[in-house]
Chain A
Amino acid sequence: MKWLKQPHKMSQKYSLWVVYFCTGCGIIEIPPVITSRWDAERFGVIPVATPRQANLFLITGYVSVKTLGAIIRTYEQMSAPKYTVGFGSCPINGGMYWDSYNTIKHLDKYIPVDGWIAGCMPRPEAIFVAVTHLWTMIDKGMATGYIKYREKYKSYRRNQEKALGKLEWPPLYSMEGKDE
């Protein structure tokens, strides 16, 4: 049987615990997803209190400059393997607030994103479709955002400093290595 050969993939897929951080507009569609009508627990997704216990990060809605710092710190505290999904049109390219001076436009310049869900707000069923797509990606070994973050950490950190100024926390991985 397939899962006997790779039990680590099955145990990751069917218990994707999500960090309970509702940024932006997502405060309105995440509570229906985790309560009894659109029950997300049947997919193995439950919200947990701290990022140390989680391996899925749903960024729901637009990201302002203040929130970006919190998102980066949360992402760096999660333990590998970890997956990120951008929810809504705003993380993709700025969405409706493309000309605002306080929101960042493309989220994957700052942290690696494995998949996107389009919509403004997407329906709860869209989250479940995204979770099943993520299972397929984990099976095929395509959800490698966290590996890319480790390999290209210098570029990510440089982009983060351009957006936020001097960062108060030390770099997560070593900053030596190839120079441009």
Chain B
Amino acid sequence: MRELELYFGPQHMGMVGNMSITLKAEGDRILEAQTNPGWLHRGFEKLMEYRTWIQNFPMVCRINVIEPDSMEMVYAMGVEKLAEIEVPERANYIRTIVLELSRLSSHLFGCWAYANMLGFDTVAQWAMYHRDLVLDLLEELTGARVYHIYIWPGGVRRDLPKGFKNKVLETLHTIGSSVPDYDATFFNNRLFYERAKGIGKITREEAKELGATGQILRATGMKFDIRKVEPYAVYDKVDFEIPTRQDGDAYSRVWLIRDEMIQSVHIVMQCLEKMPQGEVYNRIPNPFKWKIAKGEAYVRVESSRGELGLYMVSNGEDKPYRVHFRTPSYPHGLIILEKLLENASIADVGNTMISLYVIAPEIDR
């Protein structure tokens, strides 16, 4: 049989964002896959060196377009660590609520993408609709649907509006009561089982060697979640579990998305109950003349895809000296994808790619 070189991308159902893959195929079997990122490269880290600390906040949330709040959170944590700023208690609760709502909307987007890829259009439309209800809540709180710029050093920008708690509970009730519909149509569906079981299988040792975090690692049985390992905001004060599965294939990874959505709903409800009164931000020095002392910091949060880290160096000036984001999609989309596509059939390429839950803007930055 002859070898054929196929170009897959940059726009295809297997990836959220633009990334292309070159496949060397022989008949229906793939011999070698080579990823080709760079369609979305803007040179963020270089641009951030030209802007002051506070001017970087609108920049930072545009690195990961699907879930911008975790980027804002990790940058705010880094700046607070370098400048030694404390955050009031109520602000931590509000930050947790916003992060969990953002995780919910990101997982619903992932459900749309995966269901659309497999052909389950009904579930895809439901998932997008429920995600829009969550975005309505965030729009009322922060003023914008997509890029919020709400979490900043010292707390959050403004307090919750009147009647917000009831609206959140109503939306969560709507989403929570449609989980049986999702289960019956998609998650317990025999067709989904046949198409996803055994696809893209990875063992725990391989996942650790290749630097995986997030759902890929939790689907192999390790309970590694930064919210329990190194808690930030108020994750050490609320009760939640880390769901895991044992098989390490696409079926387990997508089931974990469903379980994590249910945990997010529990966390938001607990935070709304336990939230104390008080201030929502501590004052920072004049942002136009703010210089931060020399130092370096590495902070990390758990985004919806894995460990999101930030290495920041300050040189005593009013602009950052070096900023480097460690995004979870970087090892997943570049080396794990290439390894899992060897010996796969061409029909399973999209399935494998989207079950690894990669976002292309995070790779390129």
Interface residues of A (CB under 8 A from B): 20-25, 27-29, 31-32, 35-38, 62, 64, 66-67, 70, 96-97, 99-103, 120-121, 123
Which residues of B, 119-140, contact A by the 8 Å Cβ criterion?
124-125, 128-129, 131-132
- The bracket for how many chain B residues form the interface is 20 to 34
Which residues on A sit within 8 Å (CB–CB) of B46? 100-101
Total of A-B residue pairs, C-beta within 8 Å: 77
CA distance in complex: A103, B62 (Å)? 15
B10 and A70 within 8 A (CB): yes
CA distance in complex: A33, B271 (Å)? 32
CA distance in complex: A101, B43 (Å)? 7
B122's closest neighbor in chain A, by CB?
A36
Which residues on A sit within 8 Å (CB–CB) of B16? 27
B58 within 8 A of partner (CB): yes
Which residues of B, 93-139, contact A by the 8 Å Cβ criterion?
109, 112, 124-125, 128-129, 131-132
Since A31-B128, A37-B129 are in contact, a sample of 19 more A-B pairs with Cβ atoms closer than 8 Å, ordered by chain A residue number, is: A22-B17, A24-B18, A25-B361, A27-B17, A31-B109, A32-B132, A35-B112, A35-B128, A64-B39, A64-B40, A64-B41, A64-B42, A66-B39, A67-B39, A96-B62, A100-B42, A100-B43, A102-B41, A121-B147
Interface residues of B (CB under 8 A from A): 10-11, 16-18, 38-43, 46-47, 50, 58-59, 62, 65-66, 109, 112, 124-125, 128-129, 131-132, 145-147, 361
Task: For A35, give its contact among B11, B41, B47, B124 (CB under 8 Å).
Answer: B124
List, sorted by A's number, 19 A–B pairs whose CB atoms are closer than 8 Å: A21-B11, A22-B18, A24-B18, A27-B65, A28-B109, A35-B128, A38-B132, A64-B42, A66-B38, A66-B39, A67-B40, A70-B10, A96-B59, A97-B47, A99-B47, A102-B42, A102-B43, A103-B42, A121-B147
A62 and B42 within 8 A (CB): yes
CA distance in complex: A55, B47 (Å)? 36
Q: Least Cβ distance of A167 to chain B in Å?
A: 18
Task: For B132, give its contact among A37, A101, A102 (CB under 8 Å).
Answer: A37
Which residues on A sit within 8 Å (CB–CB) of B145? 121, 123
B360's closest neighbor in chain A, by CB?
A27
CA distance in complex: A35, B127 (Å)? 10
CA distance in complex: A91, B54 (Å)? 25
CA distance in complex: A102, B40 (Å)? 9
Which residues on A sit within 8 Å (CB–CB) of B65? 25, 27-28
Q: Least Cβ distance of A97 to chain B in Å?
A: 5
A66's closest neighbor in chain B, by CB?
B39
B128 and A37 within 8 A (CB): yes
A101's closest neighbor in chain B, by CB?
B43
Which residues on A sit within 8 Å (CB–CB) of B128? 31-32, 35-37
CA distance in complex: A36, B305 (Å)? 26
CA distance in complex: A102, B38 (Å)? 10
